[in-house]
Chains A and B, each alone.
Chain A
Amino acid sequence: MSAVPSTAVTVDVAVVGAGPAGLAAAVAAAEAGARVAVVDAGSQPGGQFWRHAPETVQPAPDGHGHHGWSTYLDLRGRFDAAQRAGRITYLPGLQVWMAQSAGSGFVLRTTAAVSSSGAVPVTVTAARLVLCPGGYDRQLPVPGWDLPGVMAAGGIQAFVKANGVLPGKRFVIAGTGPFLLPVAAGIAEAGGEVLAVLESSSPSAWLPHLRAASGVPEKALEGAEYAAVFARHRIPYRTRSIVTEVLGSGRADGVRTARVDADGRVRPGTGRVYADVDVVGFGWGFTPQMELPLSLGVDTRLEADGSLAGVVDERQQSSVPGLFLAGEVTGVGGATLAVLEGLAAGAAAARPDSNVPVKQPAAIVRHRRFARAMHLAHPVPAAWQDWLTPDTTVCRCEEVTAGEITEAREDLGARDARTLKSFTRAGMGWCQGRVCGFAAACLGAGPGVSPDAGSLAGSAKRPLAAPVGIGELAALES
């Protein structure tokens, strides 16, 4: 029997995640005097937003293609210093598969993210916990989206940031939201050709939210920067447009597109085809990673983007005492907000009884308002389910089609994600509903209806937050 070696660490504050929120939380907690452990699925800090090539190969990344790099360098410098001083124990390459409340604190069980990495699973016990697990691209299935060559928009960006090369040559990026811009810009700056960026919403959709949008002036600068890149590379930015089908056999080689109305309904006669495409990137906003907060029983709410997120007070504490949340998991709002929340959460977790006020609370409020405005300006199109054919794959892992799901809804009364899972297996595969969960919940609710928090929670609850070897479980002490 392979005795998997494991160790245990006990600290004041455990942080899960080392992206913008996690880095900030760890630094703030350590600098406030706490002993900190950071569990990170990545092999080095940065998360997704500051993902870069392995430092074993490129020890001095220059931040090319990154935003807020000086913030990263500052936080990273402080993180490394705290590590050297023994205040932070950094545990890379490990995923938390279960978080439990234990006594007056928390216990984290971990497993190696990559089996061959040799990362030794560590059990972390902490008095307070800061969860910064981030989010991942949200997906809306369309015919052909399961062909090789179709990727999540964020996946393309992660690929470029981590590997310094592109996954292909000719790209079409589609979906909704400001995130499509840096993805396309990054591809163009790396030498790829972006044939078009298709944005489902209207350019005037953010007008009602102008005030909120102007509350974060840096975003306007960022926007102007992307506009310049788009102009320089002649990237067509088509609004009120979607990809209706990914074409190809065996792999993606083109897309069919169309213009849509305010609800996302296809306008007849507006179809066109982009041929000779080798990568299609889809991005429909982000889904916060909610399984760990849910497993610990935090209060949640439905955000303006239709996602489930954790509720926190002004010190980033959730409804569970001692449990703090920061970053996308409190509501998708980008990296700058994640850093602000992380700093607040780390400081509060380090000194929970103290009344030290949150630094920059106004900035947090402004960023949350901006995020909300952007969400409202870039909704999931109400009629998106019209894009599906009965054969369209919805659950990629278990190959469950839209037809099978709607049949379960109509014939068997499955109207929420959990019941759909029971009857169709959608969400039962390897990814446990991370990719299809939102779409399945929508389909369960029915055409034109948004899923409620209960249904989303039903698909986001994952008793095992990561796959874990049965041999490892067998070694758990009784």
Chain B
Amino acid sequence: MNSQQVTITFDGRPLTAAAGQSVGAALASQGITAWRSTRKGGKPRGLFCGIGVCFDCLVTVDGETNQRACLVEACDGMEVEGS
């Protein structure tokens, strides 16, 4: 089990994750299951399909919108924002 850690920020708050984890995993590991609201109903969404097919887990990474949190590897210093 690797012991490297990375620190990212989520909506401005620092968050630690194990190196190699996806942003989605980093958030889920901290008990954050939703980081986005749907357009029409404002319903919370997070991970669903886990493999990049459903586009539910969209998150902004370093200013780039609509990244799939399940596919993006969390890197040190990464700024992640929900919507």
Contact = CB atoms under 8 A, between A and B. Distances in A.
Interface residues of B, number: 43
Interface in B26-75: 28-29, 33-34, 38-41, 43-56, 58, 61-62, 64, 66-68, 70-73
A322 interface: no
B2 A57 contact: yes
Interface residues of A, number: 45
A48 B29 CA distance: 21
A48 B53 CA distance: 12
Contacts of B70: 155, 158-159
Contact of A155 (B19, B34, B38, B49): B49
The prevalent SS among residues of B at the interface is loop
A210 B51 CA distance: 33
A109 interface: no
A167 B53 contact: no
Contact of A250 (B44, B67, B71): B44
Contacts of B71: 113-114
Contacts of B22: 162-163
Contacts of A150: 48
Contacts of B24: 159
B1 A156 contact: no
A168 B61 CA distance: 24
30 contacts: A48-B51, A57-B19, A113-B52, A114-B68, A115-B64, A116-B61, A116-B67, A136-B51, A137-B49, A146-B45, A148-B33, A148-B44, A149-B46, A151-B47, A151-B49, A151-B50, A152-B51, A154-B49, A162-B22, A163-B21, A163-B22, A163-B25, A165-B21, A167-B28, A251-B34, A396-B56, A397-B56, A399-B39, A431-B56, A435-B53
Given A148-B46, A399-B38, A431-B55, 8 more contacts: A41-B52, A48-B51, A57-B20, A113-B52, A114-B71, A116-B72, A151-B49, A435-B48
